[in-house]
Amino acid sequence: MSLVVFFIAAIAAIASAVAVVAQRNPFVSALALLGNLASLAALMLLLEAQFVAAAQIIVYAGAIMVMFLFVIAYVGPKSEIGAGDRKPWQPVLAIVAGILIAVQVVVVVFGASFGEAAAVDATYGGPGAIGAALVTDYLLAFEVVSVVLFLAAVAGVVFGTGARPRRLTADEVLVKEGESAEARRRAASRALIDAARPARTGEAGR
Partner 1 sequence: MSPELPFFLALSAILFTIGLTGVLLRRSPLTILLSLEIMLNSVNLTLVAFSRQVGGSDGQVFALIVMGIAAAEVVVGLGLVVAMTRREMVLDTDELRTLNG
Site for partner 1 in 5-64 (CB under 8 A): 6, 10, 13-14, 17-18, 20-21, 23, 26, 29-30, 33, 36-37, 40, 43-44, 46-49, 51-52, 55-56, 59-60, 63-64
Residues 181-200, interacting with partner 1 (CB under 8 A): none
Which position among 8, 62, 73, 141 is part of the footprint of partner 1 (CB under 8 A)? Answer: 141
User: Which residue type does 141 have?
Assistant: A
DSSP H helices, the chain, are 2-22, 26-46, 50-55, 65-75, 89-111, 127-135, 139-161, 170-196, 199-205
Neighbours of 47 (CB within 10 A): 13
Only one of the segments 101-109, 169-177, 182-190, 194-202 lies at the binding site for partner 1 (rule: CB under 8 A); that segment is: 101-109
Number of residues that bind partner 1 (CB under 8 A): 86
3-state SS class at 83: coil
Residues of span 63-82 touching partner 1 by CB under 8 A: 63-64, 67-68, 71-72, 74-75, 78-81
**Please, which residues have CB within 8 angstroms of residue 45's CB and are 6 or more apart in sequence?**
53
Residue 89 in the binding site for partner 1 (CB under 8 A): no
